[in-house]
Amino acid sequence: MLAEDAAGHLLGCAPCYVKSHSRGEYVFDHGWADAFERAGGAYYPKLQVAVPFTPVTGPRLLTRPEAHAEAVRRGLADALARITTDNGLSSAHVTFLTEREWRMLGGRGFLKRTDQQFHWDNLHYAAFDDFLARLSSRKRKTIRRERKEALSAGIDVHWLNGSDLTEEIWDAFFAFYMETGSRKWGRPYLTREFFSIVGTKMADRILLVMAKRAGRWIGGALNFIGSDTLYGRNWGAIEHHPFLHFELCYYQAIDYAIAHKLRRVEAGAQGEHKLARGYLPATTYSAHFIANPALRRAIDEYLARERAYVQAAHEELAAAAPFRKDLVEQD
């Protein structure tokens, strides 16, 4: 969707997809679809404004950095609603947008939704032990034990990037992805070709953390490198070893962020188990335009309760953070 002035100059845009399902979004509306269809409605197709398969917060209504940028964003928001109704779509969904966009859309008739992820913040650590020093003694000992046990079967960990990302490496990682994805989620949606394409287009922005035992690759975690953040995406393994998941996905990501002076690690969607590993709760945002008035009222009532729950859970989890209380109070 493009916003242009009278002379045809591009002022803003938004990436839109017309979808016949809700897979790969990480903001779950399957229950809304089921309820509407049981009542005789058609929830699909719907309009989605998102980066596919990517639960990463960022601007979704894109504008030039000029004085009228906010007016352009409001115009894009209103156009989303018009496009939805004019084309007989049930709804428009803007996911993992910024809080500023979320508030603006809420003021223009979109329903506001929140959820939660877990992020690790780099407080200018020079080494992993500096991070551990900020944790309570019990949590510190637990992490050290987990890291030791994860590699106790003679496992070596390798960071692969750029020219390291050969087709042989992607073959190995795809096997991990399919094995763990099929067992855990039931329907892995990324194809083998996807990994070749992204490895060609974004090799310098990929960190593949790979585990090797007895001369063969046995597991790995895929990360994308942003300007100041490491984004954890997919992981898999063909051998089970205690705590290997935590080592490859969480602790190695922290090691990499410290070594490369990145500000944050976002370890993907969900997972309260990340809290004990130093990843703290962070709110994520989505906005939803629902065309049908009755469905809109029902979802609006539901989201009011859900937002309250997310806020209460955030506060409870933040209070249970593994950091030393004396250092938290000083901060």
Question: Among 3-17, 47-61, 182-196, 235-249, where is mean pLDDT lowest?
Answer: 182-196
Do residue 189 and residue 232 come from a single domain?
A: yes
DSSP for 218-243 reads EEEEEEEE-SSEEEEEEEEESS--TT
Domain interval for residue 146: 123-262
Do residue 142 and residue 230 come from a single domain?
A: yes
Do residue 141 and residue 256 come from a single domain?
A: yes
Q: Are strands 206-213 and 216-225 parallel, antiparallel or unpaired?
A: antiparallel
Separation CA 60–CA 4 (nearest Å): 17
Do residue 17 and residue 110 come from a single domain?
A: yes
Kindly report the backbone phi and psi dihedral angles of residue 141, in degrees, each rounded to the nearest multiple of 5, phi listed first.
-65, -40
Fill in the amino acid letter for 168.
E
In this prediction, residue 315 carries a pLDDT of: 94
Do residue 133 and residue 258 come from a single domain?
A: yes
Do residue 111 and residue 166 come from a single domain?
A: no
Confidence of residue 325 (pLDDT cuts 50, 70, 90): confident
pLDDT tens per residue, range 244-280: 999 999 999 999 999 999 999 998 767 788 998 999 9
Do residue 201 and residue 300 come from a single domain?
A: no
pLDDT at 327 over 60: yes
Residue of 205, 178, 94, 313 lying closest to 170 (CA atoms): 178
Asked whether residue 270 is assigned to any structural domain, the reply reads no
Sign of CA dihedral 118, 124, 127, 132: negative
Do residue 156 and residue 250 come from a single domain?
A: yes
Residue 161 and residue 208 in contact, taking contact as beta carbons nearer than 8 Å: yes
DSSP state of 248: I
Do residue 83 and residue 195 come from a single domain?
A: no
Do residue 153 and residue 224 come from a single domain?
A: yes
DSSP state of 135: B
pLDDT at 329 over 60: no
Asked whether residue 66 is assigned to any structural domain, the reply reads yes
Asked whether residue 196 is assigned to any structural domain, the reply reads yes
Asked whether residue 268 is assigned to any structural domain, the reply reads no
Report the chain's terminal Cα–Cα distance, integer Å: 44
Separation CA 322–CA 320 (nearest Å): 6
Domain count, the chain: 2
The maximal CA–CA distance of the chain, rounded, in angstroms, is: 66
Asked whether residue 172 is assigned to any structural domain, the reply reads yes
CATH assignment at residue 99: 3.40.630.30
CA 213 remoteness from chain centre: 30
Do residue 165 and residue 226 come from a single domain?
A: yes
Asked whether residue 9 is assigned to any structural domain, the reply reads yes
Do residue 228 and residue 133 come from a single domain?
A: yes
- Our CA dihedral for 160, 161, 167, 171, rounded to 10 degrees, sits at 40
